[in-house]
Amino acid sequence: MFQWLSATVRTQFSQKSGIGRGGELAAAFPYFCQWIHELQPETIPAEELQRVADRLTPIILRQLPDPDDFQDCRTDVFLFMEKKLSGPMEFAIRMLRNGPDRPKTQPTAVKSLHLLRAEGFEVLAHHEDFLPSQKFLARLAVVAGTDPASLFELSSGGDGRVRIVFAYEALQHEQVVVLDLLPQPQSASGYYHYVKAVRHNTFDIRMGFVVETARLVARNRAWKERESRKNEVLMDDMSAIPSPETGAAGHSADTLARKAVRRLSPELREQLHLHYVGGVPWTAIADRYGAREEVLRKKASRALHEVAESIVAQHPDATRGATERVVKWLYETLPRIWQRG
């Protein structure tokens, strides 16, 4: 999520003495400083931003397994906020397909649109079924209300996403509305999602957002650390499998995986190739084979477990849980397997 944070930028603001004090913070993060200060006009901007930094300290430390990561993590929070505030307000929403399970009056899944500034914003609606340049009729209506729906005629872009531009006044604070996208000509039931606007027009709302951002950044860093440790264990498992250079009987993990995949049925190999290499969604594959999506998913999962088990079987010293770790490794390896034939 935070790959755009370069090591150079982090180093610039993360000093041994801390992320910075007062005026240094204000100079380094002008958009964030102004955003915090404009609802606290009686305070000094630099001091207000420093108080925000101090408030985040215990929140971040509770999430991190390694306290030594604290300075970099707090810097990431400020850089994330600076990027959000300096760029356009865009919200990507994966639409849901209409069906009998669609809630009518009490939606359980509502996408919050955090309007950090009092200006227009864009919703980027997408679904794996959308086609480039496809025509849609968009409908926006208040849930359980009597207001008439707003209608928009739209087309998806070259990437298959539908870009919808809204004025700031289009959505009231915390008001739940339903966004419908109807393909034109209407040959399908359409797509929908429930959304609500969260207007950041009070200091408490803004600070709540910053605090949640800090928790998100810290959890992301902690998750990456855990995944890194898992990968080290996986590499220990895989490294014990002899490489091709060790002799005629030696096999690399890639070679073992390739041979195991070749033993699968041609139909199953094609389905794995379509999804994991070609990126074709399971819904489309199910339509192509006239099968149920959940059935194909289960078959693919069992097949990958069988491939993983055949690889681990070549390594009697594999640690506990090696099969599950190899399955995860296979998700990334399948494109390389097919590329090499």
Residues 81 and 210 in one domain: yes
- Quickly list DSSP for 48-69: HHHHHHHHHHHHHHHH-S-GGG
Higher pLDDT, 40 or 158: 40
Residues 65 and 29 in one domain: yes
1 in any annotated domain: no
Residues 209 and 70 in one domain: yes
Which two three-digit tokens encode residue 144? 């359980």
224 in any annotated domain: no
According to the model, what pLDDT value does residue 247 have?
Answer: 32
Phi/psi of residue 222, each to 5°?
A: -65, -40
Picking from 25, 4, 27, 177, the residue whose alpha carbon sits closest to that of residue 87 is 4
Higher pLDDT, 266 or 317: 266
Q: What is the dihedral angle through the alpha carbons of 224, 226, 227, 228, rounded to the nearest 10 degrees?
A: 80
Of 165, 188, 218, the domain-final residue: 218
Confidence class for position 114, pLDDT limits 50, 70, 90? very high
233 in any annotated domain: no
Q: What percent of the chain has pLDDT over 90?
A: 19
In the block, tokens 């390594």 appear at: 315
Helix (H) or strand (E) holding 122: strand 121-126
Q: In whole numbers, what is the pLDDT of the chain averaged over residues? A: 78
According to the model, what pLDDT value does residue 197 have?
Answer: 94
Query: Cα–Cα distances in Å, from 176 out to 151, 165, 188, 330?
Result: 17, 18, 25, 41
Query: Cα–Cα distances in Å, from 297 out to 45, 125, 255, 267, 304?
Result: 54, 25, 25, 13, 11
Of 170, 199, 228, the domain-final residue: 199
Query: Cα–Cα distances in Å, from 139 out to 10, 60, 184?
Result: 43, 41, 13
230 in any annotated domain: no
Residues 136 and 210 in one domain: no
Q: What is the CATH number of the domain that holds 97?
A: 2.60.40.2820
Classify strands 162-166 and 121-126 as parallel, antiparallel or unpaired. antiparallel
Residue 88 has pLDDT above 90, yes or no: yes
At 118 the three-state DSSP class reads: coil
Residues 100 and 83 in one domain: no
According to the model, what pLDDT value does residue 5 have?
Answer: 39
Q: In the chain, which residue ranges form alpha helices assigned H by DSSP?
A: 7-13, 23-28, 30-37, 45-63, 70-86, 203-239, 253-262, 266-272, 282-289, 293-312, 322-340
Confidence class for position 118, pLDDT limits 50, 70, 90? very high
End-to-end CA distance of the chain: 33
Residue 39 has pLDDT above 70, yes or no: yes
Confidence class for position 228, pLDDT limits 50, 70, 90? low
Residues 98 and 72 in one domain: no
Residue 81 has pLDDT above 60, yes or no: yes
13 in any annotated domain: yes
Higher pLDDT, 66 or 235: 66
C-alpha to C-alpha distance for 286 and 207, rounded to whole angstroms: 46
C-alpha to C-alpha distance for 255 and 172, rounded to whole angstroms: 58
Reported as a single tens digit per residue, the pLDDT across 282-308 is 888 888 788 888 889 899 888 888 888
C-alpha to C-alpha distance for 93 and 172, rounded to whole angstroms: 19
Least confident stretch, 146-150, 178-182, 330-334: 146-150
183 in any annotated domain: yes
Residues 111 and 253 in one domain: no
Residue 341 has pLDDT above 60, yes or no: no
**pTM check: above 0.75:** no
Reported as a single tens digit per residue, the pLDDT across 245-269 is 333 333 466 777 788 888 888 888 8
C-alpha to C-alpha distance for 40 and 34, rounded to whole angstroms: 10
35 in any annotated domain: yes
Query: Cα–Cα distances in Å, from 298 out to 34, 186, 268, 304?
Result: 52, 32, 11, 10
Picking from 172, 114, 108, 99, the residue whose alpha carbon sits closest to that of residue 140 is 172
Domain of 30, in residue numbers: 7-87+204-218
C-alpha triplet 18, 20, 26: angle, nearest 5°: 155
229 in any annotated domain: no
Residue 282 CB contacts under 8 Å (≥ 6 apart), including other chains: 275, 293, 296, 297
Residues 104 and 75 in one domain: no
Reported as a single tens digit per residue, the pLDDT across 161-171 is 889 999 999 88
Rg from Cα positions in the chain: 25
According to the model, what pLDDT value does residue 154 have?
Answer: 76
Reported as a single tens digit per residue, the pLDDT across 4-21 is 334 444 444 444 334 446
Count of domains forming the chain? 3
Residues 119 and 75 in one domain: no
Which two three-digit tokens encode residue 253? 């993990």
Residues 130 and 172 in one domain: yes
Residue 223 has pLDDT above 80, yes or no: no
Of 199, 232, 266, the domain-final residue: 199
Higher pLDDT, 309 or 186: 309
Reported as a single tens digit per residue, the pLDDT across 120-166 is 999 999 888 888 888 888 888 886 554 555 666 777 777 778 899 99
Residues 73 and 119 in one domain: no
Residues 30 and 114 in one domain: no
Mean pLDDT for the stretch of residues 218-243? 62
